[in-house]
Amino acid sequence: MVRRVLLATFLSLAAVAPAFASKEWYDLYRDGLAQARRGQCAEAVKSFQAAVRLKPASGLNERTYGMDFVDAYLPYYQQGLCHLQLNDDNAALLMFNIEEKQGAVKKVDAVFRDLVKKRLDAQGRIAQIDSDIQQQKRARLALEEVRRLQREGNERHKEGKLEEALALLVQAQKGAELLDPGTQTQVADKIKQIKAEQREKQEQSDRTQRVDRALTEGQRLLDADQPAEARLRFDEVLALEPRHAGAAEGKRLAEERVLALTTRQEREEAFRHGKSLFEQGHYEQALASLANAAADPANVEARALLQKAQQTMERLRQQKDLRLSIDVLLAEGAQLLADRKYPEAMVKLAGALELDTGNVRAQEQLRLAERLTGDAFIDKIFPNQQPEITLFDTPAPEMWGARLSLLGMATDDRGLGRIEYRLGGTVVTAETLQPTRESAEYPKTWKVEHTFSLEPGANEMSVSAVDSAGLTRLKSYTVTRRLHFYETRAFLPSAAAGAVGLLGLAVASQRLRRRRALRRRFNPYIAGAPVLDDDMFFGRRKLLARIMNVLHHNSLMITGERRIGKTTFLYHLKKQLEADQAGDYRFFPVFIDLQGVSEDDFFHSLMADVVEALLPSPATQELLRFKAEEGQAYDGRDFSHDLQRVVEELKTRTSRLVKLVLLIDEVDVLNEFSERVNQRLRSIFMKTFSEHLVAVMSGVGIKRIWTSEGSPWYNFFDEVELAAFSREEAEALIREPVNGVFRFQPEAAERILELSTLKPYLVQKFCIHSVNRMLEEGRTTITAEDVQAVRDTVLLESEPEPVLHEVLA
């Protein structure tokens, strides 16, 4: 009886238990898969969760019972897929991360790739939602700040404080860039209105001051019996205010006084003298004589000539005042920038640019002031955050090698100013980043790349990123370097015997190389032609690296005496640009030699080299005005048009920013060309597509005196002088090409350094002839006697150089 009761109780409890309470993990997992296929994702999640409670660990080829297996038990991955169907990206992300940590999914390539892809998609959607929320918040706060600045600007406007009103409103204008076009237009219109009012007010003030000053001066001259000069002052007043009664009366009295004090003959003589001065261009000196002559109503020609001279002087005065105003506004803008008053600086620099729209200095400083004003506006809404540093591989706590490379990326929404690498707390290298010339903005991303040399034991290393506002992010790592046996002290004795044997082998090998070099008359030095071999390129690598760092936003002028290596340098710069795969820019270098190019063929020759080097597509070539045959009419406008078409095609060849680099040699030829051609070249660097164009020009000297008032084109270039080698560089050029084959006696190398005055061309010439003399005598050592013996030959083959004569004397 008792047994029957217990059995009935057990059956009743089993009946009310959940359906999956009696199932195994693999049954629940398969239920979940079936439910997911039917689109019952909520039920599938519950089944997978129940399976996980029974078997938390994922796995492959998991046995269920007997010979039955589950090929891939990935319950977290399956839950992630279901959560994606339920539009719950955060839950899906959590499940995918758990599955990856379990490890089994990594062994199924197709599934793991799918997991990674879907996780990235989920992260992107989450980030986009966060970004949208932040954007909405930013827009709301920006609108509040813009409205506040507008209110305060309007109040200053009503109070007549126009400068303060403009400073507030230009801040509002930068903030309005984050808002709708309507708000931007509203702020811009208000700024335009105040500027017009300010301009009118300033003009009225200037006019009133000139009237008062001229009227007072005219009366003083009239009282001093200088009626002709007085008449000129009264004319100045009437030119500004034609109905000014006092000036009209003063002019009448001055003319009467002139007529009373002079005879007709004297007035005619004054007219002839004034006319002569006018025709010679001495307008100011002519005024007094013409005023005397014009007092006679009958002398119509004198009156007309006087009026023409006064108008000319007025135009000259306006030009002078304009230049002065521009200089004052630029100076005030620069000082305000230095004082960190960026909105006020914007007002001044924008004013200068309105007066001179092509002023490069005003353009650059205004871009800087706008960026800093925008940064200050953003700082009020969202405080500046530290930069981010992401390394592609985190260093292991222990390693055996002596070198450790860090590779990653630094990012900052405001722009990065400096990257530093430290070892043991000491800065081992640092990169100072510069804003671009076009936008004055610092780079927002920068490659983190450095190789540390590790000491045995613990090494403290770090990388830090500093943003343009000085905020720093630091990432530090401790790596312990373990030593291999061959790096320990015990290795040295055992290696000594082997080293002796290797040394003997090396000596034998070196003798064999020397015999072979003597037989082949080996002489690696080059003089006269450009040095194209990388192994023979000495002394300019630091300069090459410096130019690579600044070329993306600067054009350069490389100067130096003849045969100093300018052409060689341009060839190697071209190779470096073609090989550069890092950074934000893709360089397209074109080498251009102007030697023998005539003025008529100048722009045609430039485009011929561009087309030959870059090989534009047939579609682009159809758009070009350039044709290969010479003699066609092809000027600077055609070249500018075609260059823009070429730049547009280059943009399709790369995802990076395009920089077309013109490497122009023998630029001295331009000294012989007309200023019209030179000014046309200048205008090309002012075009809208010039942000994709830089040039590196080389020559001995550029003409500095221009007859026209326009700015010469070389003002756009930073000048770099290619000087003689340092002593160390010249000695490397002497010894390294023959190292291990021939040997220079110290006295021989010293004599070459002295005679060549460290100029690379002369170093090469002395080395060529000295090695040839040594080879003729069957030796492997160059002596001082060899150098002395070839001195006269080198002198005869080289161009006369004063410095060389002084040394040889």
Q: What are the pLDDT digits (tens) for 517-567?
A: 677 778 888 877 788 877 788 888 888 888 887 777 778 888 888 888 888
pLDDT at position 692, please?
85
The whole-angstrom separation of Cα 807 and Cα 809 is 6
Cβ of 658: how many Cβ atoms within 10 Å? 21
What residues contact residue 474 under an 8 Å CB cut-off, 6+ apart?
462, 463, 464
Classify residue 476 by its DSSP letter: E
How many Cβ atoms from other residues are within 10 Å of residue 477's Cβ? 17
For 588, phi and psi rounded to 5 degrees?
-120, 90
- 87 exposure class (CB count in 10 Å sphere: 0-12, 13-18, 19+): exposed
| pLDDT tens per residue across span 231-260 | 999 998 998 899 999 999 999 998 899 888
Q: Do domains 262-383 and 388-487 have the same CATH topology?
A: no
What is the CATH architecture of 388-487?
Sandwich (2.60)
| Confidence check: pLDDT of 421 > 60 | yes
Angle between the N-to-C axes of helices 162-176 and 360-381, in degrees from 0 to 180, rounded to the nearest 10: 70
CATH for 521-530+726-808 is 1.10.8
Q: In 241-357, which ranges are continuous DSSP H helix?
A: 245-261, 264-279, 283-294, 300-338, 342-355
122, 130, 532 from 88: Cα distances, Å: 9, 14, 62
Q: What mean pLDDT do residues 322-343 have?
A: 91
Residues with Cβ within 8 Å of residue 300, at least 6 apart in sequence: none
DSSP 522: -
CA distance 230 to 217: 7
| Domain residue extents for the chain | 2-107, 262-383, 388-487, 493-520, 521-530+726-808, 559-683+699-704+711-716
Q: What is the pLDDT of residue 441?
A: 78
**Which residues are CB-contacts of 315 (< 8 A; sequence separation ≥ 6)?**
none
Q: What is the pLDDT of residue 13?
A: 34
User: Which phi and psi angles does 623 have, rounded to 5°?
Assistant: -80, -15
Long-range contacts (CB closer than 8 Å, 24 or more residues apart) made by 485-490: 487/456
Taking only the tens place, the pLDDT of each residue in 686-716 is 665 677 888 888 888 666 555 555 555 556 6
Q: How far apart are CA 54 and CA 509, in angstroms?
A: 73
The model carries a pTM of: 0.40
Span of 84-88, 90-94, 356-360, 404-408 with lowest mean pLDDT? 404-408
| Residue at 780: amino acid letter | T
CATH class, range 262-383: mainly alpha
Q: pLDDT at position 29, please?
A: 92
- Paired residues of 481 in beta bridges: 399, 457
Q: Give the pLDDT confidence of 49-82 residue by residue, as tens digits.
A: 999 888 888 998 887 776 677 888 999 999 999 9
Task: Please provide residue 557's backbone torsions phi and psi, each rounded to the nearest 5 degrees.
Answer: -120, 115
Looking at per-residue confidence, does 494 or 796 come out higher?
796
Which of 614, 611, 597, 716 is CA-nearest to residue 665?
Answer: 597
Q: State both tokens at 772.
A: 């040839």
pLDDT tens, residue by residue, 622-662:
888 888 776 678 888 888 888 888 988 988 888 888 889 99
CATH of 2-107 among 1.25.40.10, 3.40.50.410, 3.20.20.80, 3.40.50.300: 1.25.40.10
Contact present, 170 and 346 (Cβ < 8 Å): yes
The string of DSSP codes covering 383-402 is -----EEEESSPPPSEESSS
Residue 720, strand partner residues? 558
Amino acid letter, 503: L
> Which residue did the predictor score with more confidence, 497 or 456?
456
Q: How far apart are CA 3 and CA 50, in angstroms?
A: 33
What is the rounded average pLDDT of the residues 770-777? 89
CB 510 within 8 A of CB 738: no
